[in-house]
Amino acid sequence: MKFQLPKGRYLVSGGAGFIGSHLSEVLIENGCEVVVVDNFITGRPQNIKSLLGRRSFSLVEQDLVSPLKISGQLAGIFHLASPASPVDYAKFPIETLHVGAIGSDNILKLAQEKDCPILVASTSEVYGDPLQHPQQETYWGNVNPIGPRGCYDESKRYMEALTMAYRRVHHVRTRIARIFNTYGPRMRPDDGRVVPNFCKQALANEPVTVFGDGMQTRSFCFVDDLVGGLVQLMGSDHAEPINLGNPQEMTINQFAEKIIRFCKSQSKIQYLPLPQDDPKTRCPDITLAKSILHWEPRVDLDLGLEKTVEYFRTH
């Protein structure tokens, strides 16, 4: 993947995570230096194993809730650090809130100190269980702040507000990416999201568990496309939130059947009660990304799933 970002030294918080590790690789492949900051609460050392020992790569093992001290200049910061799956933020709700609030404050301070642009990774979860479909950036959301998902939803909503405050008060060059469902190699098999869940179950010929009646909809963006969108956004001067995701929508039932076929599995679908506040629809309007970033997903779902299933088959 080629891009037009200035070559330089970039910090990637959460860089040992699923998306962060792919982003770090792409930056290094394009001649940049990368400093990954991760406390490995949900990130995995094996995700960055191929980067260790390279002169253009360094690792800082630290929780962002502690102030971050980085010597030298930075060309930019990608702030991806946060638990990001329902299983993870149910297990670490306080840590999720802290990294969204205190951690984001610390890294925005660093961007101010280094006088460099910062991209913060927000989420489609800021829209909650949306009453608008598809979701546009102008929609303010339908979020339950005290529900089991509130720790993640509100941490990201607060992070967005804090980011805009740093822009207005301190003139920090900020970008906000609202990331929709992303999938691909390096997802943790136990992270609780639909793609690893279905792949793991189908490959083992176990029942594929669908919550509710399976008629809720999702859209799935391959990680290579998402990373391309993050890079394009960092290279722009767009300050308002922007959706990054795939607008091709399908029901969870349709997706479960597709995974079963891809895995050549004998699995059957098993229906379980729908978790509280689980969104009924989730699909991005990417008009803004198309017009401003000239970005849209290009990897066909079948091709992306082929690579993802093979990853889970061999890992």
Domain that holds residue 130: 9-183+221-248+283-298
- Asked if residue 200 is part of any domain, the answer here is no
Query: What's the rounded mean pLDDT across residues 124-147?
Result: 95
182-234 residue pLDDT tens: 999 999 988 889 999 999 999 999 999 999 999 999 999 999 999 999 999 99
* Dist. CA 233–CA 80, nearest whole Å: 14
The pLDDT of residue 279 = 80
Number of domains the chain is built from: 1
Annotation marks residue 183 as catalytic: no
- Asked if residue 1 is part of any domain, the answer here is no
The pLDDT of residue 1 = 63
- Asked if residue 56 is part of any domain, the answer here is yes
Q: Which of 152, 158, 166, 183 is catalytic?
A: 152
Query: What's the rounded mean pLDDT across residues 50-79?
Result: 96
What's 174's domain CATH number?
Answer: 3.40.50.720
The type of residue at 305 is L
Question: CB count, 10 Å around CB of 271?
Answer: 13
160-172 residue pLDDT tens: 999 999 999 999 9
The pLDDT of residue 55 = 95
Distances (CA, A) of 143 to 76, 146, 215: 31, 9, 21
- Asked if residue 267 is part of any domain, the answer here is no
* Dist. CA 136–CA 42, nearest whole Å: 29
Q: What is the pTM of this model?
A: 0.95
Q: Which two tokens stand for residue 200?
A: 């793991």
